[in-house]
Amino acid sequence: MSNLRIGNGFDIHRLVPDRELRLGGVHIPFELGLEGHSDGDALIHAIIDALLGAASLGDIGIFFPPGETAIKGIKSPVMLAKVLELLSEKSYKIVNVDTVVICEKPQLSGHYPAIRQTLADLLKLDIECVSVKAKTAEKLGDIGAGKAIAAQAVALLEAQ
């Protein structure tokens, strides 16, 4: 069996008023934020699912059930740290992470450096091992109508 494992993750959250918009652990100035049981950081949630998938450990809902009142409002970086502990216990090392955020607004390109650096720090990776991109939905569906933001991630793990 190969010692390299790949996983992919996806998350989507509705945009709502009176919430802070956080993507990749970074505050993004915007009039709407992402709804969620946690802070709603769809980018970190997609990364978590990619990491868990690569390690065949299931998905984010197994470890952070959305109805569990004890974790209501949990910060996504805290969730990610717990997943990194699980990977360490299973002797997995992250090789790299590639992500894409899908949204009409806000414009994210000016935030790429901060998001990449924050994710690299959270993942304990060199910044060159973290990719962040954004795409629009070409005005299609809820994302295209500015009602939601989605994120996809691919993670490569190496068994130690």
Chain mean position to CA 80: 9
Output the domain CATH number for residue 36.
Answer: 3.30.1330.50
Q: Cα(54)–Cα(50) distance, rounded to whole angstroms? A: 6
Q: Provide the whole-model pTM.
A: 0.96
With H, G, I as helix, E, B as strand and everything else as coil, classify residue 65: coil
Number of domains the chain is built from: 1
Query: Hey, what's the torsion of the CAs at 39, 69, 83, 54, to 10 degrees?
Result: -90
Q: Which domain holds residue 84?
A: 4-159
Can you read off the two tokens belonging to residue 7? 């996983």
- Looking at residue 66, its pLDDT comes to 86
- Looking at residue 2, its pLDDT comes to 76
Q: Cα(127)–Cα(120) distance, rounded to whole angstroms? A: 5
- Looking at residue 7, its pLDDT comes to 98
pLDDT 10s digit of each residue in the chain, 160 long? Answer: 679 999 999 999 999 999 999 999 999 999 999 999 999 999 999 999 999 999 999 999 999 998 888 889 899 999 999 999 999 999 999 999 999 999 999 999 999 999 999 999 999 999 999 999 999 999 999 999 999 999 999 999 999 9
- Looking at residue 71, its pLDDT comes to 87
